[in-house]
Structure 1
Amino acid sequence: MFKPTVGPIIGHTTTHHTRIFLRGDLQKKDSVFAAIRYRRIGDTQWSSGIFAELDPLRDLSNVIALHHLHADTHYEYQAGWFGTDGTKPSPEALRQMPLQWPKEVYRFHTTSSEITTPRSYIVGSCRYLRMTLGVPSLPSKGDKIFGAINRLVQKSWPPVSALIMTGDQVYVDDMNLVSPDREYREILDKYRAAFSQPHIQALMASVPTYMILDDHEIEDNWPAKANSNDAALYRNAMAAYEIYQASHSPAHESLTEGQPALELKHYWYRFAQGDTEWFVTDSRTRRNLAVDDRRILDADQEQALLEWLINSPARVKFLVTSVMFYPDSKSDDGDAWKAFPEQRLRILETIRIHKIKNVVIVSGDVHGSMTSRLRYSEDPDFEVHTIVSSPFCNSAWLPYAKASNFILDQPLVQTATGDYRLELTSKVISQDNFAHLTVDVEKIRVEYRDSNGDYLDAVNLALHIPL
């Protein structure tokens, strides 16, 4: 057996289930299979091998789902791929094969079933890994911060429950001014290079990773600049996105035999851990730019989001949107929520009217990080926090955001009955960074750290505690 050429990547993980992505490679004209075996740490007996065929139509990748796991338990696993001679073997023949497993042993941890146990998360976005003639330029720069995250994961308490990547995990359009990548093979090369660098590979092999796309997975400010020639670009970009980012996410429903369904109804999804729940929106591919009904989220997604806000029993609700919900930028490129004020107001009014507590909006995109708080002038009980974390690794061609880039001295929204006003609750960080979130009973602690893992800033966001 051979080591995976990309992965393994631990995806959606619950108390009793996890999904593991991996990619192999071609081997003449033989059938190619991936295999995983696992055991609880401390046990001596490995499970039987679990196999999945690797299809060239999915870039020789697949996702293997493990079921009937134990909650809050550390597991170790081995993963690899191999080719078979001649005809495709039966499942029984696969199980009887004398396999030589790769020596690498990876670890993952299932979710705790305790409702109120403290949890921590890593949040970030915008990882620039420029490709020149198909080869990453200065790959260690684009991978450095993930080494720092790995070191933090090793010592963090509470343990890191998930890595949340909120957009621009790859820059398909990094060379747009010179030689834009538009072909399917070129885009697949971007993903293979981005996800196989040593530090990010080690991180994603052990920490459940949840992703959602932003514009650079397709094209800058998509779809505002789209034209009739971009249909193939979009088709190619989304096919690659579905393989490398969506395949191991909760957007796929799980089948009884353990394999995620191939058909995706949409890219947005939800997942819960104890009394903390995440709604990860697709604020990029379902936009409507028509003047009479501008939407950043399609109607079905908005309805699902509002119903979740109102009905979810979660004590803490994280709403992920790849682009900034607030504060608004002084520039107006029509790309963020500022350009969709009616839909934004509907969400805010739902939170206020239904008196929904502990809503935290998480985003990236702007190449600057900060926390801020939104209040309503006529309702002292209304409060919504936002956490922005960006970038993991910036391009030398792109500026970092500063506080002076944002509108902070006037209401976000003025309504007939009152004003929504915001204030920064942290400094604006203008360098490569990531956020470490710890959710406790009384607060969410947000720590920003640089690409070496060194402390930059921290803030405690108070949580409402029911009487």
Structure 2
Amino acid sequence: MVAGEERAQEPTFTVHGHHFALVDVPVREAVPYRVELDGVAVWPEEGMERSVIRPVRKLERVVFGSCRTSVPHDLPHLVSHGVDTLRAYGHELTVDDELPDLLLMLGDQVYADEPSAEMVEYIRSRRGGSEPVDEIADFEEYAELYRQAWTDPEIRWVLSTVPTAMIFDDHDLRDDWNTSQPWRESMARIPWWRRRVVAGLGAYWVYQHLGNLTPAERAVDEVFLKVREMADGAEVLDAFAERADADPTTSRWSYARDYGDTRLIMLDTRCARHLVPGERSVLDSTEWAWLEGQVTGEHRLLLVGSSVPVLLPAGIHHVEAWNEALADGAWGERVARWSERIRQAVDLEHWAAFRRSFERLCRLLGESGSTVLMLSGDVHYSYVAKAKGVPLYQLVCSPIRNPLSRTLRLANIVAQFGVAGLFGGLLARTARLPKPPYRWRITHGPWFANALATLTFPGGVPEARWYSPKAAADPPELAEISRVPFPGRPA
């Protein structure tokens, strides 16, 4: 890799027959770069915008979003899935623009359980048997899934130029991943599931997680060091992935980065779950201890990435907390069984469905002394919520490309109204649930369009904007749909 006057090279490492390389190039300022493979230039491709590499010491512009299906961009899929907002953003952005300092991908970067027709065709071409052909089964198929998701020229260019941080959500492996202990027990009885989850976590480690680590962290990462030393590191990576699924305390997918007086904390809200009924927790004890250490200290601003939102519309929040109480036996064993079925059927699995975790997180962040912006996705609509009495905000941007049906849009609009919150509150009281530590309300939204959000800091005070593709624009263009300033401590 050649960046300005700096040149760095690394040998490839191999996993399941696929070759990868990570090259760290120290630079003092933004410079264009090129990638060479065995002395032959392979990036940027001829005729493409040049890519740049640059240090990021302070966050001035952050782009974030979640939930992106990688279906084609032809007319039928534009009708069914809308315009790909990230692709439209990449089409508009140039290296001469004010480039973002960070792109945060907050979950469902790929849909392993809802592959495109092209992906299904690839699956059918290589296997049959008892495994479902409309879901990813092994590392080879995950590699193709990521290739299809990220090889659009506009997407490749954005990822090659804008520093990126990611965290998974359920569809990166499978819908409802780790919703509850009964869900895990049910999946464990399916013959192909073990191979699937091992492949999914292994592929995530390669395609997303390694890029989240700093060079110093990779230099001491035992799995990375072992994989690089082997002719093919599949066995080492598979063993690590299986262990991470069986005992989440043996690994950590969460991570933190400091940018001046701003700390970014990205939380694993899927693999790290403790699912024993009666003591459910979004984060296990090891993860909680790590998080508490990250929140302490002098930080003007905390950006907390959680794939699933913390502050939901009040009606939805109370229903999820009520359902958890019933699933834990508040109304007896028979009701508990039905409540568990409902939990899985309608995706009652956010922080509210882990009530103790919700309360613990809100108190931790609300008492941190920092302005806290919680960035999330998952729900397929965008909004802003504000906690009463503390500088604690929820910013949701979802989907990048995967819109809700009209029926589900209407259901979520209804959940925003006060009567829904009152009804949910009554349900919560029937299960004798305590009141949440803070009250909150939706201050902006919901917006249901495909979208990306930007976070800027004019005068040191955060301001967020949501952008959606113009319906009939060709080439694709983005239009601002909302702008939300956040009172905070100025720099």
Alpha-carbon offset, residue 130 of structure 1:
4.1
Q: 1:251 to 1:274 in 2, by over 3 A?
A: closer
- After superposition, where does 1:161-240 map in structure 2 within 5 Å? 161-175=101-115, 179-224=134-179, 225-226=183-184, 227-228=187-188, 229=190, 230-240=193-203
2:481 alignment partner in structure 1: 456
Please give the alpha-carbon distance, in whole angstroms, between the structure 1 residues aligned to 2:43 and 2:208: 25
Kindly indicate whether residue 65 of structure 2 is the aligned counterpart of residue 124 of structure 1.
Answer: yes
In 1, distance between residues paired with 2:14 and 2:435?
A: 58
Q: How many residues align?
A: 392
Residues 1:50 and 2:9 aligned together: yes
TM-score norm. by structure 2 comes to 0.71
In 2: Cα distance, 1:427 partner to 1:397 partner:
17
Distance change >3 Å, CA 416–CA 234, structure 1 → 2: closer
Secondary structure at the counterpart of residue 243 of structure 1: helix
- Give the aligned partner of residue 107 of structure 1: 51
Match of 1:364 among 377, 382, 394: 377
Q: Which residue of 1 aligns with 2:365?
A: 351
Structure 1 CA distance, aligned partners of 2:67 and 2:458? 27
CA distance in structure 2 between the partners assigned to 1:47 and 1:143 by the alignment: 38
1:335 maps to: 349
Q: What residue identity is the alignment partner of 2:280?
A: R
* Displacement of 1:146: 2.2
2:67 alignment partner AA: C
Q: Which has the higher strand share?
A: 1
What's the TM-score once normalised by structure 1's chain length?
0.74
The alignment status of 1:249 with 2:267, answered yes or no, reads no
Match of 1:77 in 2: 33
| Displacement of 1:273 | 1.4
- Contact 1:143–1:197 (Cα < 8 Å) also in 2: no
Structure-2 separation of matches of 1:181 and 1:221:
15
Residues 355 and 145 of structure 1, relative CA distance in 2, 3 Å threshold:
closer
CA distance in 2, matches of 1:212, 1:305: 15
Alignment CA distance shift 1:80-1:57 (3 Å) = farther
Q: Distance in 2 between matches of 1:441 and 1:156?
A: 23
Instruction: Choose between structure 1 and 2: higher helix proportion.
Output: 2
2:413 to 403, 424, 431: 403
Identity over aligned pairs, percent: 20
Q: Residue 30 of structure 2 contacts residue 55 of structure 2 at CA under 8 Å; is this kept in 1?
A: no
What's the counterpart of residue 60 of structure 1? 19
- TM-superposed CA distance for 1:404, in Å, is 2.3
* Aligned partners of 1:372 and 1:424 also within 8 Å: yes
* SS of corresponding position for 1:240: helix
Identify unmatched segments of 5+ residues in structure 2: 121-131, 228-236, 241-250, 321-346, 470-476
RMSD: 3.4
In structure 2, do the counterparts of structure 1 residues 79 and 319 end up closer, same or farther at CA, with 3 Å as the change threshold? same
Q: Contact conserved, 2:400 with 2:451, CA < 8 A, in 1?
A: yes
Structure 2 contact 83–450 (Cα < 8 Å) conserved: no
In the alignment, is the contact (CA less than 8 A) between 1:448 and 1:457 conserved in 2?
yes
Q: Map Cα deviations across residues 407-426 of structure 1 (whole Å, 9 max, x no partner).
A: 75459999979852112221
Match of 2:442 in 1: 424
SS for the counterpart of 1:248 is helix
Extract unaligned runs of 5+ from structure 1: 1-35, 40-45, 83-97, 132-136
Post-superposition CA distance 1:327-381 (Å, at most 9, x none): 14636433111111111111222234x3523011110000000111011xxxx4x
The structure, 1 or 2, with the larger RCO (C-alpha pairs under 8 Å, 6+ apart) is 2
Matches within 5 A, 1:130-145: 130=71, 138=77, 144-145=84-85
Distance 1:48 1:434, change over 3 A: closer
Helix, strand or coil at the partner of 1:150:
helix
Q: Distance in 1 between matches of 2:280 and 2:434?
A: 21
> C-alpha separation between the residues in 1 aligned to 2:266 and 2:395?
14
